[in-house]
Amino acid sequence: MSNHDKTVAEATKLCDQGMVALAEFMAERTKKAARTKPANPVPGPTTGNEEAENDFPTPPGGFLQMPQTFGDDFVVTDYLIDGILQRGFCYSLTAQTGTGKTVMGLRKAAHVAIGRPLGNLEVERGKVLYLAGENPEDVKMRWFGLTREMGIDPKQTDVIFIFGAMHLSKTRGRIEREIVAARVKLALIVVDTAAAFFEGDNDNDNVQAGNHARALRSLRHLPGNPTVLVLCHPTKNAKDINEMVPRGGGAFLNEVDGNIGAVKNADGAVVASSVGKFRGPEFPALHFALKTITDHPRLLNSKGRHMPTVICELISYGEVARREEKAVSDDIKVLRFIDANPGKSLTDIATGTGWNGAPATIKSKVNRIITKLIKGTLLLRDPLSEQLVITADGQKSLNRLNSTVSLAVAPSFQLPSK
């Protein structure tokens, strides 16, 4: 055997011995591990969110629900306001400032507190917690007005108020302890508004908005399995009802069970319907009329003058139709006045219509009608003179209306006498 062959043979022998030794070592290690390993191993403590029991507590009975117990804990939800708000659900009510979010929230709170139907909608009676964070004094004035209008003593209702904006992350525990101590079972919680209780620095940020919505949604776990209704602002330039979704880039909307949008029509009525998302069957639009209260005895200032406040009341579809018909009539009146009196100012138009009411109120009404007519391409505002000018479409509409009136009042044709 050559020296080369001898070297290869020795190397092969050493490799074989090494592999045998390694195999024996691994076998012994496996036996040792088997002797020390428990029969039913339980994973040891882990790090990060997996061991955050306070944040994500283990459900009773563990995380896994076996098929044999599926549905045993399921409870069919009841409606708090029939066909609209379900118990234990979280909803948002979204509208621009001045539309009537607060008065609609107070109206629902009052009906739940006394169990009075809202129009033809049944309402389950229960206690209400109203978080008045945005403008507490305004809420008090409106509550005075609404309770008198409904024949309710505000000191004898089942509506509990919390006044002032706050961070619920720092007050939630104390509020819950007070609720438990008072043995209160809640049916409804109204949050007025989401912005007043926001703890971040940008309510249009997806992450912050989502976290905020989850915090408000968690209020439904307070005693009584209450419904949560959060009053929200939409994005700055939202106008139409299909744009009335909460700020937050969709993150806030994702965390609620349904959103109700509300806008004010040209006739001054407020229409509310489901927008963007609604779990369960969608409901027919609700219509509210805003009403000013000017003579409440508790709303006297230091000079003895009555301070006005606003409430809302649900109106029927018949009343909605009547208001829409009147709105069309008002549109025609303004259009005809501008046609007969070109170059007149907004104040002149408000005076010339002959409507009764406070000048500021009439002027605001005329301004809404003009905005509507411009949007409908019946009017335009001259870019140089700023004067209102009737468009070709507007003139055609007037001509058609005038022709209709002329035919209606024309004397009947007399047949020649024999």
Render pLDDT for 363-373 as a digit per residue (tens, 0 to 9). Answer: 888 888 888 88
pTM across the whole model: 0.74
Domain of residue 124, CATH code: 3.40.50.300
Mean pLDDT computed over 96-100? 94
Domain interval for residue 154: 79-315
* pLDDT at residue number 409: 38
Q: Are residues 242 and 369 in the same domain?
A: no
CATH number at residue 357: 1.10.10.10
Rounded mean pLDDT of the chain?
Answer: 85
334 and 204 in one domain?
no
- Confidence band (pLDDT; 50, 70, 90) for 405? very low
Confidence of residue 47 (pLDDT cuts 50, 70, 90): low
My answer on whether omega of the bond before 377 falls inside 30° of 0, hence cis, is no
pLDDT top residue among 281 and 117: 117
Task: Say yes or no: 355 and 300 in one domain.
Answer: no
Asked if pLDDT for residue 12 goes beyond 60, the answer is no
Nearest CA among 250, 249, 183, 173 for reference residue 215: 173
Containing 178, the helix (H) or strand (E) segment is helix 168-181
Q: Side-chain half-sphere of 250: how many Cα atoms within 13 Å?
A: 0
Confidence of residue 5 (pLDDT cuts 50, 70, 90): low
Q: Does the residue 208 lie in any domain?
A: yes
Choose the weakest-confidence range: 7-11, 134-138, 186-190, 322-326.
7-11
Residue 16 in domain:
no
CA distance 93 to 230: 6
Which domain-ending residue is among 315, 331, 360? Answer: 315
Q: How does pLDDT run across 55-84, given as a tens digit for each residue?
A: 788 888 888 989 998 988 888 899 999 999
**Based on the domain organization, do 152 and 195 belong to the same domain?**
yes
Domain boundary among 288, 315, 342: 315
pLDDT higher than 50, residue 383: yes
| Pairing outcome for strands 159-163 and 127-132 | parallel
pLDDT at 137 (0 to 100): 96
Same domain, 297 and 344: no
Confidence of residue 386 (pLDDT cuts 50, 70, 90): confident
Average confidence (pLDDT) over 388-416: 65
Average pLDDT over residues 28-46: 56
- Residue 59: inside a domain, yes or no? no
Residue type, 148: R
Percentage of the chain modeled with pLDDT above 70: 84
Query: Residue 284 falls within a domain, yes or no?
Result: yes
Q: Are 169 and 199 in contact (CB under 8 A)?
A: yes
Say if residue 258 is in the same domain as residue 277: yes
Model confidence at 6, in pLDDT bands (50, 70, 90)? low
Say if 62 falls within a structural domain: no
Closest to 394 measured CA to CA, from 376, 411, 378: 378
Is 53 inside a domain boundary? no
Q: 232 and 95, same structural domain? A: yes
Q: Out of 158-172, 181-195, 279-293, 384-398, pick the least confident.
A: 384-398
pLDDT, position 248: 86
Structural domains counted in the chain: 2
The whole-number pLDDT of residue 232 equals 97
Report how far apart, in Å, the C-alpha atoms of 15 and of each of 4, 20, 26 are: 17, 9, 17
Tens digit of each residue's pLDDT (9 = 90 or more) over 273-299: 999 999 988 899 999 999 999 999 999
Q: Among residues 271, 295, 315, which one ends one of the domains?
A: 315
Residue 410 has pLDDT above 50, yes or no: no
For residue 410, tell me if it sits in a domain: no
Q: What's the pLDDT tens digit per position in 191-232?
A: 999 999 999 999 889 999 999 999 999 999 999 999 999 999
Q: Give 149's pLDDT tier (boundaries 50, 70, 90).
A: very high
Q: Sorting pLDDT into bands at 50, 70 and 90, what band is 413?
A: very low
Mark whether 83 and 135 lie in a shared domain.
Answer: yes
Nearest to 109 by CA among 77, 76, 78, 150: 150
| Phi/psi of residue 404, nearest 5 degrees | -65, -45
**Residue 123: strand pairing partners:** 81
Q: Are residues 273 and 355 in the same domain?
A: no
255 shares a domain with 212: yes
Residue 8 clears pLDDT 70, i.e. is over it: no
Instruction: Give 40's pLDDT tier (boundaries 50, 70, 90).
Output: low
Structural domain contains residue 88: yes
Pair (187, 266) in one structural domain: yes
Is the same domain home to 211 and 144?
A: yes
